[in-house]
Amino acid sequence: MRKTKSKILVAMSGGVDSSVAAALLVRAGFDVTGMYAVNYDEPTTDGKNCWRGDYQDALRVAAKLGIKLLRWNFVKEYRRDVLDYMYREYNAGRTPNPDVLCNKFVKFGAWLDRAKKEGYDFIATGHYGQTKNGKLLCAEDNNKDQTYFLHQLSGEQLKCSMFPLGQYTKPQVRALAKKFDLPTAAKEESMGICFVGEVPMKEFLEKKIKHRPGKIVLNGEMVGEHRGLPFYTIGERIGVSGHNQTLLYVVDKNIAKNILIVGDENSPALYKKEITLANVNWISKPKKFPCSCLARLRHRQELQKCTVQKNGKKFLIKFSQPQRAVTPGQFAVLYQKNICLGGGVIA
C-alpha cells in the first residue's frame, strides 16, 4: 500500500480482523476514520443492545490507534435488503445466504454510498480478498479467502473498496494484532448470523416463520412428520423417531405438496452434476461460452472443475464430479486461476 492522504473509512466491527485492517492503514499513512455500523438492534435476553459489546471493543481499538470512530445506523437497510429477503427465501423453501446479500446491499451498498457522500475516497473492511482495477482476486490465505461472500459486488464498488488483509494469513493477522497491542488481539471470531449474533438459524427463523407440518418421505413411503420445510436444508442429517434407519439426510423438498424427501448418505438424489444459476453477477465476464471454470458452492469448499454455458438469461454449470447437497437459494461462485469471475443463485 502506497502512502497517500486519501480519506479512508474503515468499517470496524470490534473484531480482530477489522482492527488490524485499521491499524495497517494508519501505519501506511492514510487519513483513516473508523466507522461502527449498527445494522440490527433487537435486544438480547438480558435487555441489552446486541451490538453494545462489539461497539465498546471498536471504541477501544480506535482510541489505541488515535482515530475517530463514527457510529452509523443502517437498521432499516439491513432489515429491508437482508432480513426480509432471507425470510422470503426460507418461506419459499430455499436456503439463502444472508452474508452475500449483506455485502452487496449494506456493506458495499448503503455504507459505501454514505461514505462517498461524506467525502471518503474508499471504504475498507477486514475481509480476506484483494482488488485490482475493479477485479476481485482471491486472498493469500486460501483457508480464510472470503471472495465467496464478495462475488456479488460490482466493479465500481470494488474500485472504491480496500481489503488490507488480502495479502496476510490469519496467523499473521493475529501476530500483527499482538504487535500493535490491540485490545482485540485475543478476541475469538464470531460465527453467528451476520450482525445478529451467535443464534441458531432455526431458533432465529421461528420468530418470523410459522410451523407448517408435513410428511417426511423415504423411498415413496411416509416415515415421519416435519415441522415446516423452511427449517430444513438439503444435505442436513435428521433423526426420524421410531425409524430403524436413524442416519437419514434431506435430499429434496416438494414445495407444492409440503413434503420433505429423505434418503441415506449415498442416495443418488443427494448428488448433482448439473445446476442452473440465476441472477448471475459478472465481475470479470468470460469472453465466450461455453468456458472452463472452477466453482465453489459454499464457503471453504475446495474448488470444483466445471464448464459454464449460457441458457437463456441463466447459466448452466456442468461439473466434472457430482456435487453433494446442492442447495437452491445458495450461491455458486466461479473462478479462473486466482480471479473471482462472479456467481449467481442456485435455481
Q: Which residues make up each annotated binding site for ATP?
A: 11-18, 126
Q: Are β-strands 31-38 and 69-73 bridged in parallel, bridged antiparallel, or unpaired? A: parallel
Hey, how many other C-beta atoms are within 10 angstroms of the C-beta on 52? 14
Please, are residues 106 and 77 in contact by the beta-carbon 8 Å criterion?
Answer: yes
Nearest to 13 by CA among 247, 194, 235: 194
Q: Are 310 and 259 in contact (CB under 8 A)?
A: no
Enumerate residues 6+ apart whose C-beta is below 8 A from 148. Answer: 100, 296, 298, 299, 300, 331, 333
Q: What are phi and psi of 284, to 5 degrees?
A: -130, 90
How far is the C-alpha of 339 from the C-alpha of 284, rounded, in Å?
8
Place of cell 467525502: 119
Cβ atoms of 134 and 159 within 8 Å: the answer is yes
- Binding-site positions: 11-18, 126
If we measure between CA atoms, which residue out of 139, 117, 5, 79 comes closest to residue 125?
Answer: 139
Distance CA 182, CA 152 (A): 32
Active site residue ranges: 102, 194
What distance in Å separates the CA atoms of residue 151 and residue 300, rounded to the nearest whole number? 14
